[in-house]
């Protein structure tokens, strides 16, 4: 009689284990898909930040116009020759890539002649004093690049977030206009060359 009870408990345990496995597999799948999707979102966010930094480097070190920088950023993220993860070029239109170039004139310092020239020295000191005393909100003096990219939430998460919802990722980078330009290429917008 005891042997029959033990066998009954073993088969009940197997059935319970099977039922628990069947219940836990969908939960594990949702967690695994969420992990992969969230990883893609983080990688894309990092790509957008790198592209924005690339854009500010172009502002600081080249004579490219805003349109040319937008094209370079678009190529950086989605060109066919890019190795690794490429973003959808249809989601990288002109409305999703914003480039703002503000010029900031720093007088050139030509050496000892400028040190003894009080007018030139005054211009130089006032420019650098302006940089040092600049308030926290100096957005009018900044050149910036902002790249936006929309992610559609997967259908599996629609009960939580809603079906067809999008998440907009933004990569942003700023540079103080006129700084970091060793080649002195940071010209006024009217002096910029437009290459074809």
For residue range 123-165, what is the model confidence (pLDDT) as tens digits?
666 665 555 555 444 556 678 899 999 988 888 777 776 666 8
92: nearest Cα among 33, 170, 154: 170
Chain centroid to Cα 108, Å, comes to: 33
- CB crowding 44-54: b at 16 or more within 10 Å, else e: beebbbebbbb
Helix crossing, 66-78 with 2-61: angle to 10°? Answer: 150
For residue 183, name the pLDDT band (cuts at 50, 70, 90).
very low
pTM: 0.67
Structural tokens at position 190: 């009217």
Taking only the tens place, the pLDDT of each residue in 62-84 is 888 899 999 999 999 998 887 87
């Amino acid at each position: 009689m005891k042997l029959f009870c033990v066998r009954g408990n073993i088969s009940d345990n197997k059935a319970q284990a099977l039922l628990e496995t069947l219940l836990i597999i969908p939960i594990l799948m949702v967690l695994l898909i969420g992990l992969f999707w969230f990883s893609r979102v983080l990688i894309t966010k990092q790509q957008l930040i790198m592209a924005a930094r690339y854009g500010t480097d172009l502002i600081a070190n080249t004579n490219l116009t805003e349109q040319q920088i937008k094209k370079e950023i678009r190529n950086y993220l989605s060109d066919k020759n890019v190795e690794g993860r490429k973003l959808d070029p249809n989601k990288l239109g002109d409305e999703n890539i914003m480039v703002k170039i503000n010029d900031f004139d720093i007088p050139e310092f030509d050496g000892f002649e400028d040190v003894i020239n009080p007018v030139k020295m005054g211009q130089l000191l006032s420019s650098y004093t302006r940089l040092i005393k600049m308030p926290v909100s100096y957005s009018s003096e900044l050149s910036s690049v902002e790249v936006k990219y929309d992610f559609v939430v997967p259908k599996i998460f629609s009960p939580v977030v809603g079906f067809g919802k999008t998440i907009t990722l933004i990569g942003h980078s700023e540079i103080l206009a006129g700084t970091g330009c060793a080649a002195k290429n940071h010209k006024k917008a009217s002096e910029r060359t437009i290459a074809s």
